[in-house]
Amino acid sequence: MFRAGLLTLMAFLIPVAVQAAPFAAFVMDGRTGKQIHAQNADTRLHPASLTKMMTLYMAFTAIERGQVRLDTKFTISTKAANEVPSKLGLRAGQKIELRYLIRAAAIKSANDAATAIGENLAGSEANFANQMTRMAQALGMRNSQFRNANGLTQSGHFSTARDMTILGRRLFYDFPQYYPIFSRRSADAGIATVRSTNRTFLDNYSGADGIKTGYTRAAGFNLTASAQRGSKRIIATVFGGTSTAQRNATMAKLLDMGFGRAPTRVREVKPAPPQYIVQRKSSRKVAVAAASTAPAARPASLKKPQPSTATVATKSLNTALNEAMALAATKPQAAPAKQAAASGAATGVRRLASSSRPPRRPSQVASTAAATNDAVKEAMTATVVASASQGGLSVSARPIRAPRSRGAASPAIAAASTSDVAKRSNADLTLETSPKPQRRSETVIIGSSAGEGPEARPTEKVSRASSSGGQAWGVSLGRFKTRDQADARLIQIAMQESELLDGALRNIRESSSGFEATLVGLSQSDAQKTCGRVAKQSLRCDLMAP
């Protein structure tokens, strides 16, 4: 009798606890970053496993910087192994490739995998959480603060519907080569095949291709979703859903609203590079010192950060690198020791009006520039200043419903700058055979699709997005044993996708490994759409950037 009464009480309390989670929503035009709808969008709430979006953003960033590779093996700590479900089932002391941890965190929302990523990238989860917060500030997420890598409820760990939508857009634009993982229904995670926590929504909402679910009792049922229909892309976030079904239904209505209100034709505004906060004087000193240091050596100024009360300036990483290279070029013949001493004593950098010395050879200039680039990247990352708010979660009753009209909408997010990222190297990267990480390659492999079932996507080897536009993109449909086989595949795809491939040129590249079937002369959008449609047929299709 007592047990029956206890079960009845628990059944009553659990729905109340879930329903007590505050509700918030935000809808954005993914092409421009402009707000379409907002309800409690800046209220600080528990993000739950939406946190893993930032964990994955940090992992992708580390791969792009050459700090780790997808086949780098991470060691599992006791803390990571003991995380509560959802989890992959990792054991303490086990070593597992980063690619599998990424799949488990993105698709299954595994807490042990997320913790392992953070600990191995930053040395500890606390350090990683601080880096996550600093990155959030650099991305314009002004009301987010992180305390862990997995999103389990913790004091001081919060975000907002607006911030998570910004992060979702960043994942789409900043890492297009990895973004398809968020639409996977299942994947091989090394020790198990994992299934997506978001597969119901992906299957039922036309055009949906991501991104991440989240749930805790304190947070309710959360979801950041992205969908594309025609030329429109809408990204939205829901906090505080009362169930999976209710959250998905709410998200469907929000996305429908977005597609209905967003203009059909609009100028795409890609997000600018992350804006790091650096100290103007110290960054100049670091830049000059870095120019006289071999790439493998860490500048001395990085060992002891030099805080200053002087004004701080917000600059992009590209701007800082360009300034560093300009400073290094002013004294090309100075010895490294003299350069470092001069940079510490001088209050500014003087440019010589004339010089009797002949200019350096191009190869030497290129070598110095490359050394400066590598060293200063580390310097700029090390001088990031955390400015996250220390406030906690808002305590309030469930917010009232938003009005149905558009009149009460809060101000739109400012359009991001359209400055492009610096051109990247054309060197090819093959993770399975390369002994060292190769920086900024045009090809990244997120893993083999072998053995992952009928839903496996064969397009895991893709080209990184290029800043150049026009009709210079292409697609590769794979290599074949004979020219006739390659030509047959080209004709097959050209006929199936005649609308997208109108004007594209068919080309067959012959090499020792076979005949590669390619279609060139496409826009970036048409190339991406073509590969998306071809992948649905379980056929190979790789993007070819300019």
> Would you name the residues annotated as active-site residues?
49, 52, 109
Residue 180: strand pairing partners: none
Query: CB count, 10 Å around CB of 230?
Result: 8
Tell me the C-alpha distance between 50 and 45, whole Å: 11
Torsion of CA 24, 30, 34, 40, to 10 degrees: 0
Q: HSE of 266 in the Cβ direction (CA atoms, 13 Å)? A: 20
Residue 277: strand pairing partners: 314
Backbone angles phi, psi at 56, to 5 degrees: -70, -35
Tell me the C-alpha distance between 39 and 254, whole Å: 11
Q: Residue 525: name the closest of 259, 182, 287, 230 by CA.
A: 230
Distances (CA, A) of 71 to 9, 25, 115, 273: 49, 37, 18, 27
Tell me the C-alpha distance between 520 and 526, whole Å: 11
Which tokens is 61 given?
A: 């960033």
Backbone angles phi, psi at 157, to 5 degrees: -105, 110
Q: Residue 172: name the closest of 205, 212, 136, 116 by CA.
A: 212
**433-470 burial, b if ≥16 CB within 10 A, otherwise e?**
eeeebbbbbbbbbbbebeebeeebbbbbbbbbbbeeee
